[in-house]
Structure 1
Amino acid sequence: MRKGEKTRENIILKSAELFNQKGYAGCSMNDIMEATGLQKGGIYRNFKNKDEIALEALDYAIETVFQHFSEVTLHTNTALEKISSLFDVYKDVVNNPPVKGGCPLLNTAIDSDDTNPLLRDKALTVLRKFLNMIEEIIEEGIQNRELNPNIDTKAVASFIIASFEGSIMISKLERDNEHVSYSKQQVLRYLLML
């Protein structure tokens, strides 16, 4: 990898953590300069503006999370095990999330809802990808006769993600991982009751 590519990658990596911890509005170019050890010129040689950095940083953060999802689901056999393993990625969200600061989808969605249409659109794309992933897991469970064939996959996927993201938010707020565990248990019970 060439020096310019390494510099660009370093900016994305450090910015992903900053944006996920401080939010878009709370993160300044000075914060990015301090985290990367670069001057403004070094950053602007690689990116047009803060928006461009934020969009690529979000891509990186989401890719990191989805890599964790892929790794944990590889070692599962059933739909319920797959859903359970997704929650396990965030079982220590307070101390050791996949990306510093918690869930980049949750943080970006809240941070950009009414303030940054570019980030909001990117977060919406990520949400749809996550919904599709959960729907595919549920459909696989239906095909394998693990889950009721009458399940509304779209509605259940929405419920699972709401539980997932809500439990991350509560755990982060209370600085207590138990809420991720609670949601995981309740989602699995719900799927079995259906």
Structure 2
Amino acid sequence: MQRKGEKTRQHIIEKSAELFNQKGYAGSSIQDIIQVTGLTKGGVYRTFSGKDEIALEAFDYATRISMENFLKASEAEVTGINKIIAVCKVYEDPVNHSPIEGGCPLLNTAVEADDGYLPLREKAVLAHGQFIAFIQSILDEGILKGELSSELNTEAVASFVVSSLEGGVMASRLTRDNKHVQFVIQQIKLTLTAYQNRN
């Protein structure tokens, strides 16, 4: 059972993850954190040194939730292609539903990371690399099982999948129209199917 201090810490992290994901790191203040958590200023500062520390832990939490959703989706499928499409479909409705309120935390953090808080940028770079590595591992397994052609450049295709998906999520959230991310998922499937062994 969590102690009160641990529960408070987790509450701040979860509420701040949603806040940062919706308003961004630069657009969020300690006052915003106080408001969304319902805590006093002292309650927040007894738990964290400030917004920077909260932002790092909130990003870790948000990306962990995303990865858990990706893993769960992929494990429900058998073939490499279906696993990757299932991962993409975690974000098939970014306009109305995302694992973390506000869309994809990696995308949202990456957009403002160039001029923002450097340690947060470094976490985003690491998360981006981990997402690519996860997709690449599914492709590598597909080649080992003989499902996919050995001519497939798994790093290049994994980068393409991640970049396309993030771009589709961005376009759909911008226009409030899920068709963009759905177009992306269709094109990713076509690309992967082109490398499928027909034995």
- For this structure pair, what is the TM-score category when the shorter chain's length is used for normalisation? over 0.9
Q: Is the 8 Å Cα contact of residues 87 and 181 (structure 1) preserved in structure 2?
A: no
Q: Report the equivalent of 1:76.
A: 77
Q: Is the 8 Å Cα contact of residues 17 and 101 (structure 1) preserved in structure 2?
A: yes
Matched ranges for 1:123-138 at <5 A? 123-138=124-139
Looking at structure 2, the residues matched to 113 and 14 of structure 1 have their Cα atoms a distance apart, in angstroms, of: 24
Shift, 1:120, TM fit: 0.4
- CA displacement 1:41-92 (0-9 Å, x = unmatched): 1111111111110000001101111111111111100000011001110111
Query: Which TM-score applies when normalising by structure 2?
Result: 0.95
Matched ranges for 1:1-194 at <5 A? 1-194=2-195
Looking at structure 2, the residues matched to 131 and 91 of structure 1 have their Cα atoms a distance apart, in angstroms, of: 18
- CA displacement 1:121-173 (0-9 Å, x = unmatched): 00001011101101101101111111110111111111111111000000101
Shift, 1:114, TM fit: 2.2
SS across alignment from 2:86: helix
Matched residues, number: 194
Stretches (4+) displaced over 3 A: none
SS across alignment from 2:151: coil
Looking at structure 1, the residues matched to 86 and 184 of structure 2 have their Cα atoms a distance apart, in angstroms, of: 12
Q: Is the 8 Å Cα contact of residues 30 and 50 (structure 2) preserved in structure 1?
A: no
Q: Is the 8 Å Cα contact of residues 48 and 54 (structure 2) preserved in structure 1?
A: yes
Query: Which TM-score applies when normalising by structure 1?
Result: 0.98
> What amino acid maps onto 2:149 in structure 1?
N
* Structure 1 unpaired stretches of 5+: none
How high is the sequence identity, in percent, across the aligned residues? 51
> What amino acid maps onto 1:20 in structure 2?
N
Shift, 1:176, TM fit: 1.0
Q: Is the 8 Å Cα contact of residues 168 and 180 (structure 2) preserved in structure 1?
A: yes
> What amino acid maps onto 1:162 in structure 2?
S
